[in-house]
Structure 1
Amino acid sequence: MHEIGIAEAILDAVEKRAAGRPVKHARVRAGALLRISEPAINQAFAMVSAGSPAEGARLELVIVPARHICRTCRHTTTSDDAFASCGGCGGIDIVTEGGDELILESIQTTEAAHVPGHPRGDSGDPARPS
């Protein structure tokens, strides 16, 4: 299950961004060539995040297709398939770009807090009047 290693990398990034705050949701952009599914990555993340501030957090997975460029006819397309043939000429001399990225886009912590340095405060902070 290669998702375990990917989940560990995601957890590392989540913990750094959360800075000790409990996390309830994270959004991750993953290239299609990584071949991960949302149920599998959530299961792996649940295993590796046990006992961490991200325990119980749900991952939202956004799959990004790879870009394929045919060297023969220069036709460009996107696909989830690493072994795609050209849709223009049927050739297989293809250059693949992207599709292997893994990016933590955002996290949501369980705390509504004051934004440091913002003089009017955060409207979600019950201790501060709006």
Structure 2
Amino acid sequence: MHEFGIAEAILDAVERRADGRRVRRAKVHAGALLRVTEPAINQAFALVAEGSLAEGARVDLVIVPVRLICRSCGQTATSVDPFATCFECGGADIDTEGGDDLVLESIQLAEATHVPGNSRRDRGDPAGPS
């Protein structure tokens, strides 16, 4: 399954951005040419993230369309199906552009269960009381 390689790349990017904090969710843009689905990437991610700060996190996947250029009629279009035929003439002689990106857009961190300090007196002022 090629999803494992993609899931490992996502985990690496998530861990760098999380900077030691637990992660609940990640939003990823994946090009249509990568041919991944959200259920498959979440299954692979769950396995590669075991024991990491992203264990139990979910990946929200946004598929980025590929640009199709028909060699027969010159028509251009975008599609999330990398095997689409020309929408204008039905031709199958198609060039593609893009659609192979993998971008971590955002992560959602888990809420802290303990924040150090005195919750009654500490108002976040590192200089302390005046």
SS state at 1:104 partner: strand
Identity %: 69
Aligned twin of 1:54: 54
Larger Rg belongs to: 2
**For 1:13-70, what per-residue CA distance to the aligned partner results, in whole angstroms no more than 9, with x for missing partners?**
0000001110001000011111111111111101001111111111101111111012
CA contact (8 A) 1:21 1:111 kept: no
Shift of 1:79: 1.7
Aligned twin of 1:117: none
Aligned twin of 1:63: 63
> How does the TM-score come out when normalised to structure 2?
0.80
Amino acid in structure 1 at the alignment position of 2:62 = V
Q: Which runs of 5+ in 1 are unaligned?
A: 113-125
Q: Which runs of 5+ in 2 are unaligned?
A: 113-121, 125-130
Aligned twin of 1:89: 89
Matched, 1:27 2:52: no
> How does the TM-score come out when normalised to structure 1?
0.80
Shift of 1:91: 2.5
Amino acid in structure 1 at the alignment position of 2:13 = A
> CA 1:24–1:101 in structure 2 vs 1: closer, same or farther (change >3 Å)?
same
Aligned twin of 1:41: 41
